[in-house]
Amino acid sequence: MHKKGKPIVAEMGGLGMLFGISFSLLFVIFCHTFLNWEINITFLMAGMITLLLIGLIGIIDDLLDLPQKVKAFVPILASIPLIAIRAGTPEMYIPFIGDVDFGLIYTFILVPIGVTVASNLTNMLAGFNGNEAGMSLIMFLTLSVITYFTGSSVGFVISVSMVGLLLGFLYFNWYPARVFPGDTGTFLMGGALAVVAILANVESYGAILVVPHVIDFFIKIFHRFPKTFGQLGPDGKLYPPDNIARGLGQLIMKVSNGISEKRLTITLILIELVFAIISLTLFFLR
């Protein structure tokens, strides 16, 4: 889309990511069974099933190109395993406010909303080589630190597994990309973020990490969710079509008066890094 000659690139790289997280978590289950690793196997299994369901939804979307209205709500189905085991605790810590008890609203409303919103947000802020995997890598590195210090073994295992598979995937997805994550991969990244946040009870820090995606969402909703990304100029830089910023990526293009795709991705990753630092700072100052 953003290259001269419009080279064809494989899209469903998320399949490899889905296999990666599945085998990683199956290895942990094996170690729990045969090597007596201490971990909440019920939470781990529920989290894995949720991720597999999200991956399945992404596969269907990649193959059939589901309407935006459908994929905005269908990830709710993936939250059912988390609801079934009553994952997380209804008492959430909110920075500057303290602990708030949401009761059953947490299980039946906030959990499915969290899975659905996170999946869709990472799916929307996409389209540039390495930006989805790069930003998600920063997210899961941050969550790995937070879950380690909170003592959530399930959250830590999923976070570290995501870091590993994202590093492997980013090697092939970095500019010029040889493979794209597709909706299979972008849904999985957002879904895994929600799963970790819920199972480790670190929802507030997960919410801070998706602030760049929320900003992108509000810009796009103002423009009624356009399907345009960037326009390749004769100088090899990307410019917003019609000089209108219809997303966070296009806003960076406009402010920069044109930017290469590689620099655009690095800028998005650096923005994510800022919110990762904010999240970690609030966590350690708690």
Cis peptide before 181 (omega within 30 of 0): no
pLDDT score for 111: 95
DSSP-assigned letters across all residues of 92-144: EEETTTEEEE-THHIIIIIHHHHHHHHHHHHHHS--STTHHHHHHHHHHHHHH
Strand ranges for 122-232 from DSSP E:
231-232
Q: Are 66 and 74 in contact (CB under 8 A)?
A: yes
Contact 165/17 with Cβ under 8 angstroms? yes
The DSSP output letter for 75 is G
pLDDT in tens, 105-122: 999 999 999 999 999 999
- pTM of this prediction exceeds 0.85: yes
What angle do helix axes 41-64 and 182-199 make, rounded to 10 degrees?
A: 160
pLDDT tens digits, 10-40? 999 999 999 999 999 999 999 999 999 999 9
Judged against a pLDDT cut of 90, whether residue 98 lies above it is answered with no
**Banded model confidence at residue 96, pLDDT cuts 50, 70, 90:** confident
The domain limits of the chain are: 14-207
For 70, half-sphere exposure in the C-beta direction (CA atoms, 13 angstrom radius) is: 8
Provide the pLDDT for residue 229. Answer: 86
Q: What is the DSSP letter of 179?
A: B
Q: Is the pLDDT of residue 93 over 80?
A: no
R_g of the chain computed on alpha carbons: 19
Query: Beta partners for 94?
Result: 98
> Euclidean distance between the first and final Cα of the chain, in Å?
44
Give the integer Cα–Cα distance in Å for 115 and 79: 6
The residue to which tokens 């990753």 are assigned: 269
Confidence tier at 49 by pLDDT (50, 70, 90) = very high
Query: Two tokens at 284?
Result: 């350690």
Q: What value, to the nearest 5°, has the Cα angle with vertex 131 and ends 127 and 137? A: 140
* Contact call for residues 57 and 78 (beta carbons, < 8 A): yes
